[in-house]
């Protein structure tokens, strides 16, 4: 049977309560096309009649919300909302007091804290290193009356700088370098390193600059203005001077060993016997006079550093040499260099070490390295005496003299000055 409706059709007043419910309606039978504007409002909805089960995802978005439809009054949160608070994830209004507060601020790797209108200063960690980068204009300035840098554990000092004072550099917490009012002070020593020659300039605006530099295996001094070399000290110990040598001493002397192994009194005349010296007997011709250590202008044969026979010489006294592989490299900032057969135990040249062939003195097979640390220079051994051979020399009165020697004057009641030749 068909029912035809006219006019207002079925009015709400003609329907019993709940006569039409969801069981009487097919899916999607009532949609926005069947509803007049404003026909469904809060008055017609029971409490909680529309909840998360009644709408699909994203069905309520900005397009369905009028401006200011959801305000602070519609939020259920503890605390007080104001222009100095923010809503936290735990639904609490909180006040921003300072960056970090009592717990600090955390930044992930490569997240930068930037400062300046143009982000000129950056502070961040790149995953491997901590970086402070001045990427803008101007300088990176650090201001303080005293600046210090320590190790990560804060147990060692690396450097210190003081206002109106010095700058101090440390190695393993031990001060090695310091600037002061007169220049610099260096503890222990200075090591010069370079790919070729290393040098030190001695400059004064009113004088000629002298340069001390390495030349292959030698050490040289030169006048920089004219590039004139003045002096050279070779790796074999030979000193060559382009000029004169001046000293307060007035005689030439050499070391001679005594025949009995004992010291001979200073001022005594001596003669040779089988290559050694002894007191000159009356009637014999002396070769020289015993001198005090460190009084002659030039002394030969001292051998202050090592046994005189450590390296071999030919019959005329020239050095015998050989060639050998020589390695040089830098490890942990320290320059290392060794002959291949003199490498310390446990040391191996790394890949890329520089290898060259160098000439060196030929070692005497009779040399005993174990005795090296016990070696004493001849001046510290009683059997070796400095014998003055030429020049102005003091002689004890009554000592034999040679006919070619010339007496110059009396120095005291017991000592005379002679010109020995």
329 within domain boundaries: no
For residue 68, being part of any structural domain is answered with: no
Question: What pLDDT is recorded for position 34?
Answer: 65
Among 199, 219, 246, which residue terminates a domain? 246
Please give the tally of structural domains in the chain.
3
Same domain, 170 and 300: no
Residues 217 and 299 both lie in one domain = no
Residue 256's CATH number: 2.40.300.10
Residues 6+ away with beta carbon under 8 Å from 409: 416, 417
User: Would you say residue 2 lies in a domain?
Assistant: no
Assess whether 286 and 395 both reside in one domain: yes
240 and 256, same domain (yes or no):
no
Please name the residue that has the structure tokens 């909840």: 51
Residues 181 and 196 in one domain: no
For residue 242, give its domain range: 191-246
Are residues 285 and 148 both part of a single domain?
no
**Domain check: are 198 and 242 in the same one?**
yes
Is residue 75 in a domain? no
> HEC string of the chain?
CCCCCCCCCCCHHHCCCCCCCHHHCCCCCCCHHHCCCCCCCHHHCCCCCCCHHHCCCCCCCHHHCCCCCCCHHHCCCECCCCCCEEECCCCEEEECCCCCCCCCCCCCCCCCEEECCCCCEEEEECCCCEEEEECCCCCCCCCCCEEEEECCCCCCEEEEEECCCCEEEEECCEEEEEEECCEEEECCCCCCCCCCCCEEEECCCCCCCEEEEEECCEEEEEECCCCEEEEEECCCCCEEECCCCCCCCCEEEEEEEECCCCCCCCCCEEEEECCEEEECCCCCCCCEEEECCCCCCEEECCCCCCCCCCECECCCCCECEEEEEEEEEEECCEEEEEEHHHCCCCCCCCCCCEEEEEEEECECCCCCHHHHHHCCCHHHCCCEEEEEEEEEEEEECCCCCCCCCEEEEECCCCEEEEEEC
The reported pLDDT for the residue numbered 367 is 95
pLDDT recorded at residue 383: 97
What pLDDT does residue 222 have?
82
| One domain for residues 166 and 261 | no
Q: Tell me: do 257 and 387 sit in the same domain.
A: yes
Based on the fold, state whether residues 300 and 387 are members of the same structural domain.
yes
pLDDT at residue 58 in the model: 64
Residue 266 in domain: yes
Q: Is 404 within a domain?
A: yes
Residue 39 lies in a domain: no
Co-location of 173 and 266 in the same domain: no
pLDDT tens, residue order, the chain (421 aa): 455 555 555 555 566 666 666 666 666 666 666 666 666 665 666 666 666 666 666 666 666 666 766 667 667 788 888 877 878 878 888 876 666 666 778 889 999 999 999 999 999 999 999 999 999 988 999 999 999 999 999 999 999 999 999 999 999 999 999 999 988 998 888 877 766 677 777 777 666 677 777 766 778 888 877 778 888 888 778 888 888 888 999 999 999 999 999 999 999 999 999 999 999 999 999 999 999 999 999 999 999 999 999 999 999 999 999 999 999 998 887 888 999 999 999 999 999 999 999 999 999 999 999 998 899 999 999 999 999 999 999 999 999 999 999 999 999 999 999 999 9
Asked whether residue 74 is domain-assigned, the answer is no
- Whether residue 197 sits in one domain with residue 236: yes
């Amino acid at each position: 049977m068909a029912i035809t409706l006219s006019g207002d059709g079925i009015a709400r007043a003609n329907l019993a309560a709940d006569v039409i419910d969801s069981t009487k309606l097919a899916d999607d039978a009532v949609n926005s096309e069947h509803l007049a504007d404003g026909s469904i409002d809060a008055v017609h909805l029971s409490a909680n009649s529309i909840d998360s089960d009644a709408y699909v995802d994203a069905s309520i978005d900005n397009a369905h919300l009028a401006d200011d439809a959801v305000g602070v009054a519609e939020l259920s949160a503890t605390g007080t909302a104001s222009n100095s608070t923010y809503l936290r994830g735990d639904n609490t209004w909180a006040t921003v007091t300072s960056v970090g507060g009592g717990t600090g601020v955390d930044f992930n790797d490569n997240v930068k804290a930037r400062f300046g209108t143009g982000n000129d200063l950056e502070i961040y960690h790149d995953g491997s290193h901590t970086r402070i980068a001045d990427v803008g204009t101007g300088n990176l300035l650090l201001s303080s009356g005293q600046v210090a840098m320590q190790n990560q554990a804060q147990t060692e000092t690396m450097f210190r700088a003081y206002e109106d004072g010095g700058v101090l550099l440390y190695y393993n917490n031990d001060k090695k370098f310091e600037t002061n009012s007169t220049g610099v002070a260096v503890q222990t020593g200075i090591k010069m390193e370079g790919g070729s020659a290393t040098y030190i300039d001695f400059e004064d605006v009113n004088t000629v600059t002298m340069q001390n530099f390495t030349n292959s295996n030698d050490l040289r001094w030169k006048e920089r203005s004219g590039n004139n070399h003045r002096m050279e000290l070779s790796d074999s110990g030979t000193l060559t001077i382009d000029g004169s040598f001046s000293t307060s001493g007035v005689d030439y002397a050499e070391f001679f060993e005594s025949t009995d192994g004992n010291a001979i009194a200073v001022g005594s005349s001596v003669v040779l016997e089988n290559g050694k010296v002894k007191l000159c007997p009356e009637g014999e011709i002396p070769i020289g006079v015993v001198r005090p250590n460190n009084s002659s202008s030039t002394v030969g044969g001292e051998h202050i550093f090592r046994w005189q026979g450590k390296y071999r010489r030919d019959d005329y006294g020239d050095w015998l040499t050989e060639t050998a592989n020589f390695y040089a490299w830098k490890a942990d900032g320290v320059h290392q260099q060794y002959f291949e057969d003199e490498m310390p135990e446990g040391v191996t040249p790394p890949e890329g070490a520089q290898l060259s062939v160098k000439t060196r003195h030929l070692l005497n097979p009779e040399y005993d390295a174990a005795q090296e640390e016990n070696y004493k220079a001849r001046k510290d051994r009683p059997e070796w005496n400095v014998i003055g051979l030429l020049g102005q020399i003091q002689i004890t009165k009554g000592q034999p003299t040679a006919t070619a020697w010339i007496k110059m004057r009396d120095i005291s009641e017991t000592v005379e000055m002679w010109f020995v030749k």
